[in-house]
């Protein structure tokens, strides 16, 4: 084997940066895999997101709108195990398996949209408040306080109820509730980070305020946001299911909360399946994201770094 005499090829500047990035990613993933509960959460998430993505392959999509439950009026209240309806049917003849699989797609859509909207709003509001400070900070944070003073479920309920029952309005209602948390987290982080000496050091080399924010403050502030966003992927589905359970989604939507709501009338009559399977899915979804969120917090939190 020929011995490589030059330590590193300086002609490939990108490779180096990419390598360091990959190295860090590798460290984190090894850490994740070492923690069994996080691993379980990850497997669950992978399975459920896989189910959501490949829903059309797993089960024939309903026409014209696949997000609507198919109705089989010939098979009402069938128990699990019925041919063609493995998990049984609801009292409107909806296939529970279809609801479970396409419900995952609905949930994924809901949580991704809500979390990305809220993270962006929270990032903007929190950064403005924290980085600029003064009167802007005061105003924005009082606004946040107003939002925080109302219990989140009741607030979401009120918004969804006023706007009328539809899936889009559930997204709006959840976004209106969830952004405040991010604004607070990011504001706190930005205020903390901007006191670091490396921010002064960046000013000393002539960086502009915007550049300092983008290069020094933001990248060092986002870690708790990643954790919170992961946790909220679960929370959003939980509260979303609650809202649709109460009846704030369109009737017949392939959504877990809607299915639980439809099935609950039959529980006393022994028809447990229509509520149980979608309910179980909500539980697993929230559990999985909470496990991963907690795991991420342990790994990314610099204070726990020493223990490793």
Partner 1 sequence: MTLAPAPGPAGNAVATDSVASVVGLRIHFESKAGRVYAVDGVDFDIRDGETLGLVGETGCGKSVTARSFLRLVPMPPGIHAGGSVLFRPHQRCQHCSGAGCEVCEGTGRLPTSCSKCGGDGCPVCNGTGMETIDLSTLPEKNLREIRGDRIAMIFQDPAKALNPALTVRNQIAEVFYQHRTTDVLERAGLDTSPNPLLRRHVAQRSRLLERALLALPPLRSRRQKIEGVVDDMVAAALAETQIPNPIKVMERYPHELSGGMKQRVMIAQALACNPDLLIADEPTTALDVTVQARIIELIKQLQGRHKSAVLYISHDLSLVRRVCDRVAVMYAGRIVEVGTTEEIFANPLHPYTRGLLAAIPSRTHVRGQLVAIKGTVPELIEPPPSCRFVERCSYAVDVCAEIDPTLEGTEDGHEVACFIHNPPSVAAELPSFSRRTS
Three-state SS sequence of 284-295: HHHHHHHHHHHH
Closest of 97, 68, 77, 67 to residue 85, by C-alpha? 97
Secondary structure E strands in 108-258:
none
How many residues touch partner 1 under the rule CB under 8 A: the total is 28
The answer to whether residue 208 forms part of the interface with partner 1 (CB under 8 A) is: yes
The residue from 45, 202, 241, 281 that contacts partner 1 (CB under 8 A) is 202
User: Token pair for residue 38?
Assistant: 């996080």
| Rounded Cα–Cα distance for residues 273 and 23 (Å) | 47
Identify which of residues 47 and 214 has a Cβ nearer to partner 1 in the complex. Answer: 214
Identify which of residues 22 and 251 has a Cβ nearer to partner 1 in the complex. Answer: 22
The answer to whether residue 303 forms part of the interface with partner 1 (CB under 8 A) is: no
Given the structure tokens 């607070």, which residue do they identify?
184
Piece of 3-11, 32-40, 146-154, 165-173 that binds partner 1 (CB under 8 A): 3-11
The answer to whether residue 30 forms part of the interface with partner 1 (CB under 8 A) is: no
Identify which of residues 4 and 197 has a Cβ nearer to partner 1 in the complex. Answer: 197
The residue from 1, 2, 3, 11 that contacts partner 1 (CB under 8 A) is 11
The answer to whether residue 91 forms part of the interface with partner 1 (CB under 8 A) is: no
Phi-psi region of 94 (alpha: psi -120 to 50; beta: other; left: phi over 0): beta
Cis previous bond, 64, omega within 30: yes
Q: What is the DSSP letter of 7?
A: S
Strand, coil or helix: 195: coil
The answer to whether residue 28 forms part of the interface with partner 1 (CB under 8 A) is: no
The answer to whether residue 192 forms part of the interface with partner 1 (CB under 8 A) is: no
Given the structure tokens 């909360």, which residue do they identify?
257
Piece of 17-25, 95-103, 115-123, 164-172 that binds partner 1 (CB under 8 A): 17-25
The residue from 1, 2, 4, 10 that contacts partner 1 (CB under 8 A) is 10
Q: What percent of the residues of the chain are helix, what percent strand, and what percent coil, each to the nearest 5?
A: 75, 5, 25
The answer to whether residue 133 forms part of the interface with partner 1 (CB under 8 A) is: no
The residue from 150, 158, 204, 280 that contacts partner 1 (CB under 8 A) is 204
Piece of 67-75, 79-87, 164-172, 192-200 that binds partner 1 (CB under 8 A): 192-200
The answer to whether residue 200 forms part of the interface with partner 1 (CB under 8 A) is: yes
Q: What is the DSSP letter of 85?
A: B
| Rounded Cα–Cα distance for residues 242 and 196 (Å) | 43
Contacts to partner 1 from residues 209-268, by CB under 8 A: 211, 215-216, 219-220
Task: Label residue 121 exposed, middle or buried (CB < 10 Å: 0-12, 13-18, 19+).
Answer: middle
Q: How far is the CB of 124 from partner 1 (least distance, A)?
A: 16
User: Which residues bind to partner 1, rule: CB under 8 A?
Assistant: 7-8, 10-11, 13-14, 16-17, 19-20, 24, 196-198, 200-208, 211, 215-216, 219-220
């Amino acid at each position: 084997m020929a011995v490589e005499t030059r330590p590193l090829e300086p002609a490939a500047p990108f490779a180096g940066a990419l390598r360091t990035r990959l190295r860090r990613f590798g460290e984190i993933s090894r850490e994740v895999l070492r923690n069994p509960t996080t691993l379980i959460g990850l497997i669950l998430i992978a399975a459920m997101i896989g189910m959501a993505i490949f829903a059309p392959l797993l089960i024939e999509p309903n026409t014209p709108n696949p997000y609507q439950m198919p109705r089989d009026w010939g098979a009402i209240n069938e128990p699990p195990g019925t041919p063609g309806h493995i998990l049984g049917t609801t009292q409107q003849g909806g296939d529970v398996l279809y609801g479970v699989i396409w419900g995952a797609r609905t949930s994924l859509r809901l949580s991704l949209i809500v979390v990305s909207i809220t993270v962006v709003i929270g990032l903007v509001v929190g950064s403005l408040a924290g980085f600029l400070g003064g009167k802007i900070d005061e105003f924005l944070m009082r606004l946040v306080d107003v939002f925080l003073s109302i219990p989140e479920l009741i607030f979401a309920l009120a918004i969804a109820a006023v706007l009328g029952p539809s899936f889009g309005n559930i997204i709006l209602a959840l976004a209106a509730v969830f952004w405040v948390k991010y604004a607070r987290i990011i504001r706190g982080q930005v205020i903390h980070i901007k006191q670091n000496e490396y921010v002064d050091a960046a000013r000393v080399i002539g960086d502009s305020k915007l550049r300092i924010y983008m290069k020094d403050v933001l990248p060092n502030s986002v870690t708790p946001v990643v954790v919170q966003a992961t946790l909220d992927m679960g929370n959003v589905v939980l509260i979303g299911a609650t809202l649709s359970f109460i009846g704030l989604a369109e009737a017949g939507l392939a959504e877990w909360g809607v299915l639980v709501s439809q099935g609950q009338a039959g529980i006393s009559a022994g028809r447990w399946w229509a509520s149980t399977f979608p309910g179980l899915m909500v539980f697993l979804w929230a559990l999985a994201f909470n496990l991963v969120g907690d795991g991420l917090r342990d790994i990314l939190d610099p204070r726990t770094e020493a223990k490793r």
